Structures are given as C-alpha cells and as structure tokens.
Amino acid sequence: MRRSKQLIVLHHCLLNQNARAKGLAKRSGAIEEIVEEALQKGWGIYQIPCPELRFLGADRQPLTKTDYNVPEFRRICREIALEVAGDLEEFAKAGYEILKIVGVEGSPSCGVNYTHIKIDEEEMLVRGEGILVEELKRALLDKGICARYYGIKISKERSKG
Ligand code: SF4
C-alpha cells in the first residue's frame, strides 16, 4: 500500500474526550467528523499527548491558564513539545506534509486563539494561546518546521463539513 505522506496533528482529546477535565467532555470518545475527514482523505493522524492528564490525572477539575502556569506544568508541556517537534521533524525530513495542527479553543493548555484565565477569582475567556501551544510553537520554530495551527471549539453536535 502506498503511503499518503500527509498528516494531521491533533491535540489529544480530539481523539479522546475521556481525557478532558470533569464535566468538559462533549462527546463519548473521538470527535467523529475529524476522524472521518482524515479517513476519507487518507491522512495519517498524529496524536499529541494530553499535558493535563499527565499533571493531574483523569479525574481533575477544570482549571485556568492562570492555575496551570507553574514551572512543573510548563516542564511537562515543554517535554511534550520537544517530543512532538522531534517526531514531526522526522516526518518532514522524510518528505511528509504536515497539513495542520488542530488545537482546542478555550483550553488553558491547547487553546490556539482563545484560552481561559482567572483574575481576582473570576474565570474569563480571553484571546491567547494555551501553555502547550506556546511551547509547541516555540519547539517547532527552533526546528524550522512551519505548520498551520487551527483551533476548534468542540460542540456536542457534529459540525457539518
Ligand atoms: S489539555 Fe489539551 S488535550 Fe488535554 S484535555 Fe485539555 S484540551 Fe484536551
């Protein structure tokens, strides 16, 4: 079988909503329409590990970027970013096309354009990147890998097209 040599890179919970903090899962498992598009088009799917799962486990409460912005969590994100950038570098060297990296809007870790912060104990959605996205963009830049980043807002209903 000939390889398509085309990849999409997904932040973890787009394939596994079980990884989300308590109360935040929007689907029972994967986001079906993302998987279906990849299957139809013959794209490979690269799944980025979930940093919050590594830091606080699967039973964690939802927190904000303000809460997660501590050295230990940054270290975990940096490690994941270096690992992912290393893998993508190998694919790029072998002539694979990294079509896009897809993050999760609003996430303190994986938000691309929007993230949640806390000011005076009040949570708010603001423009900005999550911590893993910041670290991954830096790691990819260091390796000279140019990748387009998209953020999606996951809903309970399947999106059309
Ligand atoms: S940290 Fe990222 S991958 Fe993990 S549940 Fe949150 S948005 Fe999904």
| C-alpha distances out from residue 104 to 96, 147, 152, Å | 24, 16, 5
Pocket test for ligand 1, best of 13, 45, 133 (most atoms within 8 A of CB): 13
- pLDDT number for residue 160: 59
pLDDT at 157: 80
Using N-to-C axis directions, what is the helix angle for 71-93 and 131-142, rounded to 10°? 40
Q: Which atom of ligand 1 is nearest to the CA of 52?
A: 1
- Reading the chain (161 residues) residue by residue, the pLDDT tens digits are 899 999 999 999 999 999 999 999 999 999 999 999 999 999 999 999 999 999 999 999 999 999 999 999 999 999 999 999 999 999 999 999 999 999 999 999 999 999 999 999 999 999 999 999 999 999 999 999 989 999 999 888 877 55
pLDDT given for residue 148 in this prediction: 96
Give this prediction's pTM: 0.96
State if residue 11 touches ligand 1 by the CB under 6 angstroms criterion. Answer: yes
CA distances from 8 to 2, 37, 72, 126, 147 (A): 18, 10, 28, 26, 10
For the chain, domain boundaries: 6-152
Residue 14, ligand 1, Cβ within 6 A = no
Q: Is the CB of 12 under 6 A from ligand 1?
A: yes
Structure tokens at 28: 């029972």
CA of 123 relative to ligand 1 center, distance in Å: 18
pLDDT computed for residue 119 by the predictor:
95
Query: Which of 100, 108, 111, 99 lies closest to 151, judged by CA?
Result: 111
Taking CA atoms only, the protein residue closest to ligand 1 atom 2 is: 110
Pocket test for ligand 1, best of 27, 47, 52, 53 (most atoms within 8 A of CB): 52
Query: What is the structure's pLDDT at 32?
Result: 96
Q: Which residues contact 1 (CB under 8 A, 6 or more apart)?
A: none
Give the whole-angstrom CA distance, residue 92 versus residue 86: 10
Which two structure tokens, joined as six digits, stand for 16? 């596994």
